[in-house]
Structure 1
Amino acid sequence: MSYPVPAQQIETLYEIKKSKFIAFAAFADSREAAMAHLANVKQQYPDARHHCWAYLLGNPHSPSSAAMADDGEPSGTAGKPILNVLQHKGVGDVMVIVTRYFGGIKLGAGGLVRAYSASAQQAMEQLPTREEVRLYDVSIDIDFKHEQFIRHLCEQFSGKVVNCSYAQHVTVDVQLPSHTIDEFQEKTAAMAIDFTRPDST
């Protein structure tokens, strides 16, 4: 199944009562990638009081992971509102960081929730997206004479050959979009190929 992911990173500015909220949104398909974005933003705005964030990894309708942090703001007033925006946008593999510069006027807990939500919302509305197609690993045992056919078929189905190992037979490891696996198997059925389907995880 394909789903939208960030096509590029963006930054937006939201101001309220002299406080500045700079929202950064970008593609992140792992916690490591998300934390790398956080480190970069902290480096870019070292004098900011707070760098609050949330990420959503994988398919937005059934994410593999989600996390958030208030970074010194009162509990539940920053990370949670940012994550809440992400959970309603239908975009996967996304990291949003909201950097706050305090303007001298306290916003209160409700004001903070609204400001972090509005800042994340603004970034997500302006974020360009692209379709991400999830690829599954499939292993195929074939005779040598079928190798070129499998390579060609793989290309036809928007997949890619990851590895080939040669022994008595050829073992070809390929990655295929999930919606093509059944048809791919049908096309190879006549060749009595040992076809290892991916697990459902």
Structure 2
Amino acid sequence: MGEFRVPFQAADSEFVEKRSRFISHLLPVESEEDARAFIAQIKKQYYDARHNCWCYLIGENVVRYSDDGEPQGTAGQPMLNVFQRENVTNVVCVVTRYFGGILLGAGGLTRAYSKGARDALCAAGYAVMGRWAVVDIPCSYALFERVRLEAAAQGGTVDDTQYGADIHLTVSLPEERVETLQERLTELSAGGVRLAVLSAEFRPGPRQEL
């Protein structure tokens, strides 16, 4: 499926279309049980709404959706398509509709539910799952800015900075970039800067925007 993307965090959004109110809730999940529990929670919270349409994707193979009384194919499937187009999985999304008295038609409903899902995903952001290393980089004050920029160029983020006789940067970066980062640090410091790998694990990376 290409790179493995997941929502960075839970999110919600809301908009009004022709007097119908659409409220979206999104949650990162790792199991169908969690997804169904979230759907039940939202349905209970918005028990008086006309429709609580939903979809979820878990891993590469588990895909479920519901139009919850809307015309077939106008709600759950369009929501699902948003996440599939963006290659996002391990996600559940519920879009609640309070009917405003004006019919939207099949095309209008499809656009509205797609917008609800996309707005929630944009609010959540996404992260790419992968092997991430946490490294310690000791350097002089004179080299600090160049080291920081080089870490960023290799896809790293500075998690912590400690100031003492030297500066120690704690940096998270894709594991496959560690060797390249060390090569670049060796070049810019004439061999004086050596990083140390503190840990490595499979996890989400930093937040990214759609």
- Shorter-normalised TM range: 0.5 to 0.7
> What per-residue deviation string (whole Å, max 9, x for no partner) do you get for residues 158-197 of structure 1?
35xxxxxxxxxxxxxxxxx5xxxxxxxxxxxxxxxxxxxx
How many equivalent residue pairs? 136
Paired letter, 1:158:
A
Aligned to 2:65: 68
Select between 122-131 and 1-10 the one with higher mean Cα deviation.
Answer: 1-10
Q: Please, what TM-score do these two structures have when normalized by structure 1?
A: 0.62
Aligned to 2:80: 83
SS at match of 1:55: strand
Aligned to 2:121: 124
Aligned in 2, Cα 1:131/1:47: closer, same or farther, shift over 3 Å?
Answer: same
Give the Cα separation in 1 of the matches to 2:92 and 2:46: 17
Aligned: 1:11 with 2:8? no
Q: Is the 8 A contact 1:89 1:124 kept in 2?
A: no
Aligned to 1:23: 24
Aligned to 1:52: 53
Structure 2 gap ranges (5+): 132-196, 203-210
Structure 1 gap ranges (5+): 135-154, 160-176, 178-201
Aligned to 1:99: 96
Aligned: 1:158 with 2:206? no
Percentage of identical aligned residues: 45
Cα offset for 1:122?
1.2
Cα offset for 1:133?
4.0
RMSD across aligned positions (CA): 2.1
Q: Is the 8 A contact 2:20 2:98 kept in 1?
A: yes
Q: Please, what TM-score do these two structures have when normalized by structure 2?
A: 0.59
Aligned in 2, Cα 1:2/1:74: closer, same or farther, shift over 3 Å?
Answer: closer
Cα offset for 1:89?
1.3
Q: Is the 8 A contact 1:18 1:105 kept in 2?
A: yes
SS at match of 1:77: coil
